[in-house]
Amino acid sequence: MKKFIKIILYSVFLFGGFSGIVLADTYDPRARTDDFMYLFRLSYDRGRFSRDRDFKFAYDIIADTYRQTFVGSASFFGEVTGILGNKLASFSFDVPVAREPIRRGKVSVPAPYFANARDVTFYSPTGVRLLTISVQESSFCNDDYVCNNDVGENFYYCPHDCVEEPITLTRSPSPSSQPEKKTDEHTLPFVVLGAFGIIGIIVAYLIFFRGRKIKIDSLPPVS
């Protein structure tokens, strides 16, 4: 019975240790905005766009990289406008129902995501503005040139507001001149996971080899 309990404890600590190390190693807090994209739910009716009323929201944010899939002279296109009114990106998309006889139906339109976007406007192939959808409620960068870390602003999402800290190398740095190291609040939980993972492996090692040592010491001496 004791041997069975030791095997269970060894397995639990070993599995927990490796899980903690794997989680700490695979987490990347520097997620970029190009890791996401918009997916707009629209209805097309004979040259006009409107929101698809079957969906509560006009768009979703998908955890995927946007890829331009349709480019052509007769393609519809859109523009992403920033908080300051500046153009952030343009994209093209296809509307298959526009080529059908009834020219009416539902359309899902992907678009590149920006954390400082204000709205997205959709145009006909001839450049006529058809629909504008506000996306500001899903944007957390306000481009005020102030880095508001409490709302998630950082250099990777909001380069206009947050400046990446440069790394300065010196020939003979003194302890007093070295910058203070700061731990990102997003990475702290995964540092703790990694620490617990290492501790778990050590405990499993001690349980296994200590049990073997006790077993060896309990054997009668060889005469």
Q: What is the pLDDT of residues 180-221, one digit of tens each?
A: 444 444 445 555 556 656 666 665 556 655 555 545 455 555
pLDDT grade, residue 25 (50/70/90)?
very low
Whether pLDDT at 130 is above 50: yes
CA 155/CA 149 separation, integer angstroms: 10
Rg of the chain on CA atoms, in Å:
28
CA angle 172, 176, 177 (to 5 degrees): 55
Domain map (residue ranges) of the chain: 2-28+186-211, 33-138
β-strands 48-51, 76-82: how paired?
unpaired
Residue 164 DSSP class? P
What's residue 68's pLDDT? 82
The closest of 15, 6, 178, 34 to 114, measured between CA atoms, is: 34
Per-chain mean pLDDT for the chain: 74
What's residue 212's pLDDT? 55
Whether pLDDT at 32 is above 90: no
Buried (b) or exposed (e) across 37-56, using 16+ Cβ within 10 A?
bbebbbbbeeeebeebeeee
Q: What is the pLDDT of residues 41-92, one digit of tens each?
A: 999 999 999 999 999 999 999 999 998 876 666 689 999 999 999 999 999 9
Which two structure tokens, joined as six digits, stand for 146? 């102030």
9-31 mean pLDDT: 42
pLDDT grade, residue 30 (50/70/90)?
very low
